[in-house]
A and B are shown apart, each in its own frame.
Chain A
């Protein structure tokens, strides 16, 4: 063990020695040369500037001649006006600001307030919008460098019910060597492919079913993130996160220490000029405590359940993009898919009517999975067409002694979606989505969404 490690150390340290050893005389000479280059460049710039100034003078003269005619009228006013704003204001250091506005018209054959996915108990904002017109979540973002070592970003989400949520609020250390950029605060986890992309940049109106069922939409936590891109020729990104684990599938725990931890690796690259790809694997572990949910028991009563134990989720994701010559402006195609596996084990408390009338504690274990696959094709500038299929396999949980009251139907929820969208520019989009959703046995929800997404201000680019 010892010898290879010390050999590696020696090898690594040898890289740190600069390849060019220069003595003082050499350095002085080099400095002189650099100085000389700078000076010669400055001279040339000065010459150019004087030429420019001359040209401007001529232009100004011409303008003056034209202005003389009306000078009599505006003379007094012109004399009073300042030439330029001489004071700098405090707002010069304002952060970059953007806002995203969204709205939808939804036509649903089933009531969205009874949105249930068979065999799953997600929490969070996963039901489709209310019927008819409504605005969706609006987003407000502020970002700037704090100083030479830290960058910070705040994203607020304004809900249609007039409540405000902190969607993301994090700092990033920007000046560390070795490609390290630790992030701290509240942020969207980088597990999977879609999780760290904001909702307004999705290709469909709603999140794929596995995201809804396993993560309650998207997983975020308050904590730390460390991502590192390997300095190789092929893209390899490794990441680790720890957090409070308070969000679904976790719960508030009132404990010190770490509530959730995530690990992931992503690789990617180009194949020729036309194709690019990214694929990865992720792991998320949590320990929910008394995660409560309602489930219909074998007698048809809405019973109150609470789960405590371990929840482990693994995700495999890939995306492949095609654009002729790598120019996605006219036509392009994007294929993406993700597979989720979840293992939960622990204790389940059954409370028949939610009033402790009849209760039972038992062990509980489940293995569940789900996946989606979607393709989006831009067939001409500004127009895209896409289809998506999602499916969940709730499996048959081991209810232990709770099996007397609880049961699983073995029905696999599934959903079919098709969408067409039109972008007015990078900042405006209209989308029509048709969807057939079969989340419970014998119930089909036919859904139509007409959605808009508008971006104002200094919005940065979207992730790959």
Chain B
């Protein structure tokens, strides 16, 4: 019994003790922000990514493993714009970690720092899985990564002032590498400008906006609603007037609808990694976009 009491005393004191900021524990809802935090934080941060590229970020279960990681996090980095509304609020609430609740410095939403596209004019669940804040898949435009990097570096510095200079320095290096890379990608992707495409889910609005791709139709009749044969047939009919070269889908999505349409319309299916880890090549933010553009160019041939 005495042993048990001693153990309990240690546990309780350890729980109330302020955590030592040897490294900043970063909990990232999706892989892209985890990768960005690693670029900006280097060895000053320890990043945990709650989802992988083969999971649908809209539909994740509030698993015990996520709750326990949020419990010890110093900073939660989410996309926001209700992308994670189905699971992250519950994870944060059940973790009991007061430092990472929305509104606290330990909670960061990337979507607040970019210009949102496809903000719906009317909010009605009859329109499918609509997000009041606009399309949340902001990471498909490389310029948005840079827009999020600056406030994220500032937030890391705010939470860990001892290493503020290091975050600033790493941000500077990252930004200059990233700007060069963007210029290169835009040059490479020039042939894609004005190219008509199909998408499976409306997941590529920012990519289209950046590279000038022209979305003719989506295979999902409404965002987040499974494609139906009737809708696919209508899309197929539309392709008679407006032919496309390829249909895009994210690595996490089922391949049935895109295969169905590709076979009938004789177009290419381009599976984009969508985020870091979406395929074997997309290992970090740089290779993610290299691979994305390479795949698009290949699909456009």
Contacts and interface: CB of A to CB of B under 8 A. Distances in A.
B151 A18 contact: no
Interface in A341-389: 381-382
Contacts of A232: 68
Contact of B224 (A19, A174, A178, A425): A425
B9 A5 contact: yes
Interface in B49-104: 51-52, 54-56, 59-65, 67-68, 71-72, 85-87, 89-90, 93-98, 101
A33 B90 CA distance: 36
A16 interface: yes
Contact of B158 (A34, A41, A234): A34
B183 interface: no
A335 to B, nearest CB: 15
Given A34-B161, A326-B55, A327-B252, A13 B67 contact: no
A425 B14 contact: no
Interface stretch (A156-164, A197-205, A267-275): A267-275
A36 B96 CA distance: 34
Interface in A40-56: 40-41, 44-45, 48, 52
A15 B171 contact: no
Nearest to B149: A41
A401 interface: no
B17 A15 contact: yes
B264 interface: no
A237 B54 CA distance: 29
Contact of A231 (B10, B15, B151, B168): B15
A174 B101 contact: yes
B164 interface: yes
B129 to A, nearest CB: 7
A52 B252 CA distance: 33
B226 interface: yes
A267 B161 CA distance: 35
Contacts of B240: none
A384 to B, nearest CB: 14
Interface stretch (A74-82, A97-105, A433-441, A456-464): A456-464
B154 to A, nearest CB: 5
Interface in A171-226: 174-181
Given A229-B67, A276-B61, A464-B63, A37 B18 contact: no
Contacts of A60: none
A310 interface: no
Contact of B157 (A34, A40, A181, A462): A34
B64 A48 contact: no
B98 A174 contact: yes
Given A177-B16, A330-B254, A48 B226 contact: no
B187 interface: no
A266 B100 CA distance: 23
Contact of B96 (A11, A16, A180): A180
A266 B63 CA distance: 12
Contacts of B226: 381-382
Contacts of A266: 64
A272 B163 CA distance: 34
Contacts of A20: 21, 162-163
B195 interface: no
A4 B63 contact: no
Q: Number of contact residues on A: which range applies? A: 35 or more
A329 B56 contact: yes
B98 A176 contact: yes
B68 A278 contact: no
Contacts of B96: 179-181, 227-229
A8 B13 CA distance: 8
A38 interface: yes
Contacts of B161: 22, 27, 30-31, 34
B115 A52 contact: yes
B52 A270 contact: no
A194 to B, nearest CB: 16
A34 B59 contact: no
Given A268-B65, A278-B64, A179 B71 contact: yes
B131 interface: no
A431 interface: no
Contacts of B9: 5, 8-9
A276 B151 contact: no
B125 A175 contact: no
B230 interface: no
B115 A461 contact: no
A189 to B, nearest CB: 16
A270 B63 contact: yes
Contacts of A34: 154, 157-158, 161, 164
B18 A15 contact: yes
Nearest to B23: A19
A178 B16 contact: yes
27 contacts: A12-B14, A13-B17, A18-B21, A19-B20, A22-B161, A29-B165, A33-B157, A37-B154, A37-B168, A40-B150, A41-B154, A229-B71, A229-B94, A231-B14, A231-B19, A266-B64, A268-B64, A321-B63, A326-B52, A329-B254, A381-B254, A425-B128, A426-B86, A427-B125, A460-B89, A461-B86, A464-B63
Interface of A: 1, 4-5, 8-9, 11-13, 15-20, 22, 27, 29-31, 33-34, 36-38, 40-41, 44-45, 48, 52, 174-181, 227-237, 266-270, 273, 276-278, 321, 325-330, 381-382, 425-427, 460-464
Given A15-B20, A33-B157, 17 more contacts: A30-B157, A34-B161, A44-B150, A177-B16, A179-B15, A179-B95, A229-B71, A229-B94, A235-B64, A269-B64, A273-B54, A325-B54, A325-B252, A326-B51, A327-B54, A329-B59, A461-B87
Interface of B: 2, 6, 9-11, 13-22, 51-52, 54-56, 59-65, 67-68, 71-72, 85-87, 89-90, 93-98, 101, 113, 115, 125, 128-129, 147, 150-151, 153-154, 157-158, 161-165, 168, 171, 224-226, 252, 254
4 shortest A-B CB distances, which residue pairs? Answer: A268-B64, A12-B13, A20-B162, A235-B64
